[in-house]
Amino acid sequence: MKLYSIDTGFFKLDGGAMFGVVPKAIWNKTNPADANNLCTWAMRSLLIEDDKRLILVDTGIGNKQDEKFFSHYYLHGDQTIDKSLAKHGFNRNDITDVFLTHLHFDHVGGAIVREGEKLIPSFKNATYWSNKQHWDWAVNPNEREKASFLKDNILPIQQAGQLKFIESIDGISFTDQIKVRFVYGHTDAMMLPIIEYKHTKLLYMADLLPSTGHIPLPYVMAYDMFPLKTLAEKKTILHEVVEKNYILFFEHDSINECCTLQLTEKGIRLKEIFNLNEI
């Protein structure tokens, strides 16, 4: 098995929304905001080369929405999925599986492209994986979350016949070396892949833990649908990470790709920071 970090660019979100009840005077030290209170975040996917399968975890925001939509998110950076794949010797047609942690626009937007008047899957040879519970949640969204679930990102996957569901069972195997952890605080039935890699386990954090700045337990996003559930899930998973010495892989940290954790007098905190290719 080989793992590759796939950078799809950066965007900006309100710092207060990203840190919930934590005061700006505290979170601004680790994630400094600009004059508009916006912080920069990565959209970092993970590519897993596993025998004959090439699995892409999440797809970034894509480029098919209109100028008004993108004006809210200040996209920047030179990286795209295509450039990142090419850097490792791959292209879109090589992808066999797209594993979608959840269906918010910054995770699934790149799954679909616009060709003329048509919306079609970006990865024509891939099976796209979600789970029925989250899929139903996304296509019938609540009023608070529906701005994050864009039908143009979601329905064309099913219409193309490329959608399959993973069972909503915690710890279920996706492949022999990839298991799926389900969490329910950020959104209903988000999936986190746990990958057996080089005699350890790597946990793709998606939006359970957006950055190293979110490691302290109360640092929970205002975007989360069920923040107390997120708090409980973070506590359980982060203690497991320390106990079993997992590696965390960050989707949204604009600087740090991976880290390990340690238990300190102040609780669970950062131990080591490194890039995926240094493992």
pLDDT tens-digit readout, 132-145: 999 999 999 999 99
Average pLDDT over residues 212-220: 97
pLDDT grade for 23, boundaries at 50, 70 and 90: very high
Inter-axis angle of helices 151-159 and 132-139, nearest 10: 130
* Rounded (to 5) percent helix, strand, coil in the chain: 25, 35, 40
Kindly list the structural domains of the chain, giving each domain's residue range(s) and its CATH number in brackets, ordered by start. 2-278 (3.60.15.10)
Question: CA triplet 161, 109, 107: central angle to 5 degrees?
Answer: 105
- Gap between the terminal Cα atoms of the chain: 13
pLDDT tens-digit readout, 71-95: 999 999 999 999 999 999 999 999 9
Query: For position 13, what pLDDT does the model report?
Result: 98
Quote the DSSP letter at residue 87: H
The percentage of the chain sitting over the pLDDT mark of 90, rounded to a whole number, equals 99
**159 within 8 A of 125, measured Cβ to Cβ:** no
Query: For position 142, what pLDDT does the model report?
Result: 97
